[in-house]
Amino acid sequence: MSRLPPLDLTRLDPEQQRVADAIRSGPRGAVIGPLEVWLRSPGLADPAQRLGAFCRYHSALPSELSELAIILVGKHWQSAYEFAAHAPLAIAAGAGAAVVEAIRAGTPPPYTDARAAAIHALVTEYLSTHAVADTTYQRAVELLGERGVVDLVGIIGYYCLICVTLNVFEVPLPEGTIAPVL
């Protein structure tokens, strides 16, 4: 049960309506999950949804790597909603079902792509220690480039915001979605 009642999307004020229209006309196509929570504060919702659209759809990382980073953040925050939403996207993008399952289960993923392993190392190291060792950082830059690492850090930060929003407001999974055991 959510801590917030569903927002009546037919009764938005003009600022909320502008942001909702921007979300609907973008790549997401719908105001759901954390976006619906944020819409209660359009000044937050608008820049956050624009940042999210960049992180998810326009970063320097290919989708299989950005989706990998997203599920690693979802796993860290134990956000069933985020993991359930992005695990199928990660698999469809080519991250591999065995990799996704290993992340869900908390076991070492069977990476065959050095870039994926570097992302895993950087994301998990940062989230668990709040720092990144020079060797981890250098490996990521070597494999992803500086822009790729900058975009990766943006993805980490944005999806931390997503997961915190989902967890604090106890946003329920979409109907028919089975919550993964994280």
pLDDT tens per residue across span 29-87: 999 999 999 999 999 999 999 999 999 999 999 999 999 999 999 999 999 999 999 99
- Domain contains 127: yes
Question: What's the pLDDT tens digit per position in 9-45?
Answer: 999 999 999 999 999 999 999 999 999 999 999 999 9
Whether 133 is covered by a domain: the verdict is yes
In a domain, 181, yes or no: no
Structural domain span for residue 98: 63-162
Shared-domain flag, residues 156 and 77: yes
**Domain annotation covers residue 180:** no
HEC readout, the chain: CCCCCCCCCCCCCHHHHHHHHHHHHCCCCCCCHHHHHHCCCHHHHHHHHHHHHHHHHCCCCCHHHHHHHHHHHHHHCCCHHHHHHHHHHHHHHCCCHHHHHHHHHCCCCCCCCHHHHHHHHHHHHHHHHCCCCHHHHHHHHHHHHHHHHHHHHHHHHHHHHHHHHHHHCCCCCCCCCCCCCC
Query: Do 80 and 28 fall within a single domain?
Result: no
Q: Same domain, yes or no, for 125 and 152? A: yes
79 and 97 share one domain: yes
Residue 177 placed within a domain: no
User: Has residue 144 been placed in a domain?
Assistant: yes
Q: Are residues 43 and 96 in the same domain?
A: no
Q: Are 68 and 53 in the same domain?
A: no
21 and 84 co-located in one domain? no
